[in-house]
Amino acid sequence: MAGKRYESLKIENIVASGIIADSIDLADVSKKIPSCELNTKRFPGAVYWIENPKIASLIFSSGKVVLTGIRDKAALDKGLKLIINSLKGAGVKTYKEPRVAITNIVCSYDIGKYINLNKVVITLNLENIEYEPEQFPGLVYRIKDPKIVALLFSSGKIILTGGKNLEDIKKGLDFLEQKLESIM
């Protein structure tokens, strides 16, 4: 059952951030790296697009980076290596061991049946639930442990975000399904 249970769980996006250098001259880097754009009027960092794996990275003069669009750990490792090699090639002195970690995983899941969101609100009556169908068609459920935010839709589709690893996402999903089971 456990394997089948998570069958529809799919990673949609991984965000990682950290520091890779003491400082980075963004103007210089954006001139030397073709797919690296700098427009300080719009954003204080450089945006570096990588095609394979498909990742958008934000690079800041402080040496900090944010990577997004990642689908798995292997793509994160490969993308980070590409970014560091490109920066080194542009003359940036990067750390031997970059300190970059996953900060958020966004997953989608299909519970496989209709969810009566009004019934969820009335039955659970919790302060960690937000549901305003006139504003947004989904119910926002904030799970405290692990700290996960779940967006529930009446179609049975669920978006889970806030986890730093897949185990947290699965624990949050187990908690959520247990709560829903009692009212569905």
Mean pLDDT score across all residues of the chain: 92
Residue 67 has pLDDT above 90, yes or no: yes
Give me the architecture of the 111-181 domain, per CATH. Answer: 2-Layer Sandwich (3.30)
Local confidence band at 4 (pLDDT 50, 70, 90 cut-offs) = low
Predicted local distance difference test score (pLDDT) of residue 90 = 95
Q: Read off the tokens for 66.
A: 């944010």
Q: Which of 6-10, 22-26, 113-117 shows the highest mean pLDDT? A: 22-26
Q: Is 104 helix (H, G, I), strand (E, B) or coil?
A: strand
Predicted local distance difference test score (pLDDT) of residue 128 = 86
CA dist list (Å): 154 to 7, 9, 60: 20, 17, 41
Residue 3 has pLDDT above 60, yes or no: no
Domain with CATH 3.30.310.10 in the chain: 16-102, 111-181
Burial of 11 (0-12, 13-18, 19+ CB in 10 A): middle
**CATH 3.30.310.10 fits domain 16-102:** yes
Predicted local distance difference test score (pLDDT) of residue 5 = 72
**pLDDT (tens digit, 9 = 90+) per residue, 85-116?**
999 999 999 999 999 999 999 999 999 889 99
β-strand pairing of 36-38 with 129-130: unpaired
**pLDDT (tens digit, 9 = 90+) per residue, 155-180?**
999 999 999 999 999 999 999 888 88
Burial of 19 (0-12, 13-18, 19+ CB in 10 A): middle
Percent of the chain with pLDDT over 70: 97
**pLDDT (tens digit, 9 = 90+) per residue, 110-157?**
998 899 999 988 887 777 899 999 999 999 999 998 999 999 999 999
